[in-house]
Copies of this chain bind each other. A is one copy, B any other.
Amino acid sequence: MTVTKAPLDQRRQLNVGMLGCGFMGKCHSNAFRKMPYIYPGASFVPRLLVLCGRDEAKLRREALRYGFEEHTADWRDVVRDPRVDVFDNCGPDPLHVEPSIEALKQGKHVICEKPLAVSLQDARRMRDAAAAAKGRNLCVFNYRFVPAVLLAKEIIASGQIGQVYQARMSYLQEAGHDPSTPPEQVWYARWPHSGVLQGIGSHAIDQVRYLVGEVRSASGAVRTYRPERAVASASDGGAEADEASASVLELEGGAIAVVEASAVATGRKNFLAWEIHGSRGSLRWDLEHPNSLFACLPRPGAARLEGFAEISVTGREYSGAAEWWPPGHNVGWEHCHVIEKLRFLEACTGSPMDPAVATFEDGYRVAAVIAAIRRSSRTGERVALEY
Given known A70-B5, A332-B331, contact A277–B306 (CB-CB < 8 A): no
Stretch from A110-118, A122-130, A218-226, A348-356 forming part of the interface with B: A218-226
Determine if B266 and A161 form an interchain contact, defined as CB atoms under 8 angstroms apart.
Answer: yes
Determine if A254 and B267 form an interchain contact, defined as CB atoms under 8 angstroms apart.
Answer: no
Q: Encode A11-35 as 1/0 by CB contact (under 8 A) with B.
A: 0000000000001001101100110
| 20 contacts across the A-B interface (CB closer than 8 A) | A2-B73, A4-B72, A6-B64, A165-B177, A165-B223, A166-B244, A166-B264, A177-B280, A219-B376, A225-B254, A246-B256, A247-B248, A264-B279, A267-B308, A270-B327, A287-B328, A288-B328, A295-B305, A309-B309, A332-B334
What is the distance, in angstroms, from A29's C-beta to the closest C-beta of chain B?
A: 7
Given known A282-B265, A290-B330, A380-B219, contact A309–B305 (CB-CB < 8 A): yes
Residues of B within 8 A of A29 (CB): 37
What is the distance, in angstroms, from A184's C-beta to the closest C-beta of chain B?
A: 16
Q: Which residue of B lies closest to A295 (CB)?
A: B305
The interface on chain A, measured as residues whose beta carbon lies within 8 A of the other chain's beta carbons, has a size of: 122
Q: Does A7 sit within 8 A of B, measured CB to CB?
A: yes
* Assembled-state Cα–Cα distance A7/B64 (Å): 6
Q: Does A82 sit within 8 A of B, measured CB to CB?
A: no
Q: Does A197 sit within 8 A of B, measured CB to CB?
A: no
Determine if A37 and B9 form an interchain contact, defined as CB atoms under 8 angstroms apart.
Answer: no
Determine if B280 and A266 form an interchain contact, defined as CB atoms under 8 angstroms apart.
Answer: yes
Query: A258: which of B258, B280, B329 is its contact (CB, 8 Å)?
Result: B258
Determine if B281 and A267 form an interchain contact, defined as CB atoms under 8 angstroms apart.
Answer: yes
Query: A306: which of B40, B65, B179, B309 is its contact (CB, 8 Å)?
Result: B309
Q: Which residue of B lies closest to A178 (CB)?
A: B279
Residues of B within 8 A of A219 (CB): 219-221, 248, 376, 380, 382
Given known A65-B36, A77-B3, A288-B291, contact A281–B305 (CB-CB < 8 A): no
Query: A282: which of B267, B279, B312 is its contact (CB, 8 Å)?
Result: B267
Q: Does A173 sit within 8 A of B, measured CB to CB?
A: yes
Q: A3-B77, A266-B281 are in contact. List 20 more A-B contacts (CB 8 A).
A: A2-B74, A3-B50, A6-B63, A6-B71, A40-B65, A165-B177, A166-B262, A173-B328, A179-B279, A225-B254, A244-B256, A248-B248, A270-B326, A287-B330, A290-B330, A299-B299, A306-B311, A307-B309, A309-B310, A330-B333
Q: Does A250 sit within 8 A of B, measured CB to CB?
A: yes
Q: Which residue of B lies closest to A10 (CB)?
A: B64
Determine if A307 and B267 form an interchain contact, defined as CB atoms under 8 angstroms apart.
Answer: yes
Residues of B within 8 A of A303 (CB): 317
* Assembled-state Cα–Cα distance A308/B8 (Å): 46
* Assembled-state Cα–Cα distance A244/B163 (Å): 14
Residues of B within 8 A of A268 (CB): 277, 282, 328
Q: Does A51 sit within 8 A of B, measured CB to CB?
A: yes
